[in-house]
Structure 1
Amino acid sequence: MAAPHRNGWRARQDKWLNRANARLSGLSHTARRFVSQPEPRAIGDVARGRQFVAGNVLYAGHLVELGAQSPWNITPPTDAFEDALHSFFWLDDLAALGDAPARKTAQAWTADWAERFGNGTGPGWTPALAGRRLIRLTQHAPLLLRKQTKEGSDALFATLSRQTAFVARRWRAAPPGLPRFEALTGLLYASLSLDGMDRHRAAASAGLDRECAARIDSEGGLPSRNPEELLDVFSLLSWAAAALADCEAKPGPEHQAALERIAPTLRALRHPDGSLARFHGGDAGPEGRLDEVLAASGIRTRPGEGLHMGYGHLSAGRTHVIVDAAPPPMGAVSPDAHASSCAIEVMSGRRPLIVNCGPGRTFGATWHRAGRATPSHSTLCLEGLSSGRLARRGGAELMVDGPRDVPTDRARIRDGHRFEVAHDGYRASHGLIHARTLELTIDGRGLAGEDLLTTLDPADEKRFERVIAGQDLNGIAFTIRFHLHPDARVAADPGGASASIALKSGEVWILRADGFTDLTIEPSAYLQKTRLKPRSAQQVVLSGRAMSYATRVRWSLAKAQQTPDAIRDLAIEAEDDEDHE
């Protein structure tokens, strides 16, 4: 039964394609229109473009050396690697390079893909992946059509037609969220760029409008709480709005309202170096992408002092702090949710100081799980246990239990800013609430912290006593971790009550804790999607034991006295790129 159905589908597709090709007026008019357009602003990376020209492909933590062969000849090492290839992300980087070898590589890889997979079969034919391809193929059509033969341009427009038909039929099957935004944006691009495809414009624009209303909350955030995913969605919506403006059209009201809500949220999640806070599966984002899309959007709204997508932020002088101040996303909302409540990231100027380990998915299941655990974040952890529990559901490990109540409070104090946050992730297991208070001085030279473990009612006290009894009355072990960026150098000061942290800018920060805890320096790891392996790093760990209903630990992070307020920190050091993209 499958073959007749498939043949019938193929016949309908071929009929549609023939009709669409006829409306393209022989394709020559559309080809001329594409070639006459200015080259779109590069959104890729020149260095990666050179690597592709050289035959080196690095995706999803795997490096494949192609040599002179086509990328479609290889057996992809992982599904994520294969998806990245079929998404045509490499076109961004080749277009950013833009020279003759880059153009020839882009044209050869595209033509080979169209010959092998352009008939609608094989990997890569999901609505989201097809949407990603349509975006790249239309954005970078000038590169693909430059010095192209008629046969080559005909083949390109034929595959564009077939992919547009596929997305038009199947975009509703894309999972809600980023995949559906990708499918709809690709469909809108094709409808605006190709003659004969304008029939899909209304449906694509209306679909984007509905998705914005359903998926972008009042804070300008996503249910996944992934900052990098929010940047991806904002980029798609901005590109779609710009494409409509080029055709003297406007985005729908919900589309425009979503852009207005997301922009200040992304600014709140932006560190001074232009990177994003790394929480809930998100990385720092491609270099320069955040600032580029914010500037191109034309939206100048600044973030308020409230929460943005569940994150709080403090800023003074050269110091910037971002706090995870909301419950983690539960269940299928996010397969990358982290147990990171109350965790912080701290930047000094454009230098990362206190970080979280980051997303480990590209390094395999073990690193993925480890990166999601509470000990991989700069926060307090009880007995090495995460504040949230993971369980396998439908082939994925999802957050199924964790903090439900995460109250916050923010206030201006006489000499700076105060932010308070707490979570109940350990209440059911230990009877304890974790509360964290952060005070940033008005000049940004000092951050004072307090971590409190406390019971709230008699039921909590009984639960705490039972746990203590099981520990032979030795108390409940806890750690407060401060993961450091790999570029930071740390040394324990004599006496073990403090640690000195030196940044490449020349700044020196001193981390001190009260005498109630032991201060040690331990290995850590910094996980980046663009690396072949985790980077080695260090962490400062405060260890102690909770013996009573209330345990308080005070610590401070302050610039050394000899560190000036203003530092000329403009040089960009060559990065250790032995395993970098």
Structure 2
Amino acid sequence: MSADRLRHLAKGSLLSRLFGQGRQPLRLVAVPRDHVLGDRARGDALLAGRFRWGNEERNLPEIDFGDIGAATELDRAIHGFSWLRDLAASASREKGARLAEAIAGRWLIAHGSRVDEAWAPELWGERILFWTAYAPYILSSRDSGYRSALLNTLARGARHAEAQADRASPGLARITAWSGALVAALTLQGGLSRLSRCESGLMRALASAQFEDGGLMSRSPSEQMLLVDRLGLVRAAYFAAKQPPPEALENSAAAALAALHGVTMGDGALSSWQGGNPGDPGRMATLVEGCGLRARPLRHARGWGYQRLSALGTIIVVDAAPPPAARMASHGCASTLALEMSDGAQRLVINCGGPGPVPTSLPDELVLALRTTAAHSTLVLDDTNSTAIQPDGSLGKGVSDVTIDRNEDNDCSRLEASHDGYVRGFGLIHQRRLSLGNDGKEVRGEDRLIARGRRRIREAAPYAVRFHLAPGVEATLTADGMGAILRSPGAPPWNFRCRGAMLLVEESLAIDGRGVPVGSLQLVVVGEVSAIGGEIAWQFRRSS
């Protein structure tokens, strides 16, 4: 189907038969400004007739909008219209508007006159956020029938999102639905009468999905990025409408950004938790720069659960909480007490990561394996997950209680945390102690297994303390077999030493920011523990 045919489908004569002739179009009284730059490569692909999302791609002329459901991430991305941001990063308003209006017209013909999967409240919420922010790209046409159709559909969609928002899944989906309804109230003619109800709805959605420290209960950094983005667009709508944002909303948005900063490593990208990967540091930078908020990294997060230690360029992030509840995250990870570590922009110790929020070609078996304790940089007892992962992918019994003790002094930052994930099966508590010197040159650690409860190991159980290394980090064992020298392209060498066990260097893999597996190495400290418990001491020290 040619570009001319796409433009023809957006003509008012066809749309007017769907929506009627004589209806006066509504008016946008405010157009929010999106300060976040889009992905230019995806925008260029759109201009070339290809819709690209993750590793999936479709030819735009061949897309049958009537057949697009909402089952896949690609389908939902098409419906959500967040790609308008990418198009704007690549094309002028005049050039981008021709393509955006053609696609919007095809969408209206397929979905504008009937309530179907595309009318899920969270999809309408996202669509409203981007239709209003990029109104110049989809409402520049001189065709009054097309403009009327789009604005009236937008108004109906806003009422639908408002009525159905609380039926969306708790968490980011419900927040997105209410965000769109609220932005419509601020920007559509006559919408201010619904502003108070929409504000209340959004604050309820945030309260049910966000810990007091600002992190989402899904504990997903990639979702946290989307939360910051959503709230940034909502705030932009307030400013465009010359309305003051509620103080509670401002506080939630600032806390969300602080929590996001708290899981960011030295290269500006995310640490890999709950099935996510580092993502694109450039996208992270544009989001932080454009969201209109400023916040310091959250260091001691009891709800969000990620502890951050930093000193002179060395950053450590520790998962110090149970996995997320199933209702908030259907595919959480058994990662309690795992850590990631970077020296400046160089990542050193990582978790293997996962596919993240965009489509990838990773096989299901690998995605499941990436959620295990062994895929994270922590202690694994008898090759058993600290929280069980059921055959259907849901999380079973395991970590339910995590204790934390943290303090700082003139010499170092100290963290002591323990979890009960191995008490039921082995009668042992896993405790991890960490200290980061204030010069950033030394990290001391200790993993202890402490007897607890009635169950006892009959003889002994094997353990492995794994430190997955970032791609490009080379590990050379020392002559005594108790240490390794870590060399990387972006940082001075680091020396690793362990005591009380044997050290191995094994192959590993990491999922990069594009969702692609990359070969890497891991340090593995192995040994056995008896019913009375034991301890393993280790140390990272920068050589200069």
Q: TM-score range by the shorter chain?
A: 0.7 to 0.9
Distance 1:515 1:168, change over 3 A: closer
CA distance in 2, matches of 1:496, 1:189: 61
How does 1:141-290 map onto structure 2 within 5 Å?
141-146=135-140, 149-290=143-284
Q: Which residue is 2:380 aligned to?
A: 381
From 425, 430, 455, give the equivalent of 1:434: 430
Q: 2:374 matched to 1:391?
A: no
Q: How far apart are residue 551 of structure 1 and its match?
A: 1.9
Q: 2:475 matched to 1:490?
A: yes
Q: 2:357 matched to 1:342?
A: no
Q: 2:71 matched to 1:72?
A: no
Contact kept, 8 Å, 1:229 with 1:282, in 2: the verdict is no
Q: Which residue is 2:87 aligned to?
A: 94
Distance 1:501 1:58, change over 3 A: farther
Q: Output one character per residue of 1:100-158: Cα deviation in whole Å (capped at 9) or x when no partner.
A: 55443322222211111221344322111111111111111112234554344333223
Q: How far apart are residue 286 of structure 1 and its match?
A: 4.9
CA distance in 1, matches of 2:134, 2:301: 40
Q: Output one character per residue of 1:51-98: Cα deviation in whole Å (capped at 9) or x when no partner.
A: 222334343x54224174347388789622222221223222112213
CA distance in 2, matches of 1:57, 1:499: 46
Distance 1:552 1:302, change over 3 A: closer
For 1:429, give the aligned amino acid.
G
Q: How far apart are residue 391 of structure 1 and its match?
A: 2.9
CA distance in 1, matches of 2:523, 2:426: 25
Q: 2:311 matched to 1:328?
A: no
CA distance in 2, matches of 1:90, 1:375: 36
CA distance in 2, matches of 1:196, 1:455: 65
Q: Which residue is 2:420 aligned to?
A: 424
Q: Output one character per residue of 1:208-250: Cα deviation in whole Å (capped at 9) or x when no partner.
A: 1222333323222222222222232232223213312332323
Q: 2:56 matched to 1:57?
A: no
For 2:520, give the aligned amino acid.
A
Q: Which residue is 1:570 aligned to?
A: none
CA distance in 2, matches of 1:292, 1:191: 27
Corresponding pairs, count = 521
Contact kept, 8 Å, 1:94 with 1:103, in 2: the verdict is no
Distance 1:202 1:414, change over 3 A: closer
Q: Which residue is 1:511 aligned to?
A: 496
Contact kept, 8 Å, 1:87 with 1:133, in 2: the verdict is yes
CA distance in 2, matches of 1:419, 1:439: 6
Residue 128 of structure 1: SS of its match in structure 2?
Answer: helix
Q: 2:411 matched to 1:415?
A: yes
Distance 1:507 1:259, change over 3 A: same
CA distance in 2, matches of 1:287, 1:375: 26
Q: How far apart are residue 325 of structure 1 and its match?
A: 0.7
Distance 1:454 1:39, change over 3 A: closer
Residue 457 of structure 2: SS of its match in structure 1?
Answer: helix
Contact kept, 8 Å, 2:373 with 2:384, in 1: the verdict is yes
Distance 1:345 1:71, change over 3 A: farther
Q: How far apart are residue 38 of structure 1 and its match?
A: 8.2
For 2:86, give the aligned amino acid.
D
Contact kept, 8 Å, 1:383 with 1:476, in 2: the verdict is yes
Q: Which residue is 1:353 aligned to?
A: 348
Contact kept, 8 Å, 1:433 with 1:455, in 2: the verdict is yes
Q: How far apart are residue 504 of structure 1 and its match?
A: 2.5
* Unmatched tracts of structure 1, length 5 or more: 1-13, 469-474, 562-581
For 1:544, give the aligned amino acid.
G
CA RMSD of aligned residues (A): 2.9
Q: Output one character per residue of 1:248-284: Cα deviation in whole Å (capped at 9) or x when no partner.
A: 3233343233234333323322223322232123443
Q: How far apart are residue 368 of structure 1 and its match?
A: 2.8
Q: 2:119 matched to 1:119?
A: no
Q: How far apart are residue 425 of structure 1 and its match?
A: 0.6
Q: TM-score, normalised by structure 1?
A: 0.82
Q: How far apart are residue 455 of structure 1 and its match?
A: 0.9
Contact kept, 8 Å, 1:103 with 1:143, in 2: the verdict is yes
Q: Which residue is 1:571 aligned to?
A: none
Q: 2:537 matched to 1:554?
A: yes
Q: How far apart are residue 39 of structure 1 and its match?
A: 5.7
Residue 394 of structure 2: SS of its match in structure 1?
Answer: strand
Q: How far apart are residue 184 of structure 1 and its match?
A: 0.9
Distance 1:425 1:319, change over 3 A: same
Distance 1:358 1:413, change over 3 A: same
Q: How far apart are residue 196 of structure 1 and its match?
A: 3.7
Identical counterparts, % of pairs? 28
Q: How far apart are residue 546 of structure 1 and its match?
A: 1.6
Distance 1:536 1:68, change over 3 A: farther
Q: How far apart are residue 438 of structure 1 and its match?
A: 1.1
Q: How far apart are residue 165 of structure 1 and its match?
A: 3.0
Distance 1:489 1:103, change over 3 A: farther
For 1:86, give the aligned amino acid.
H
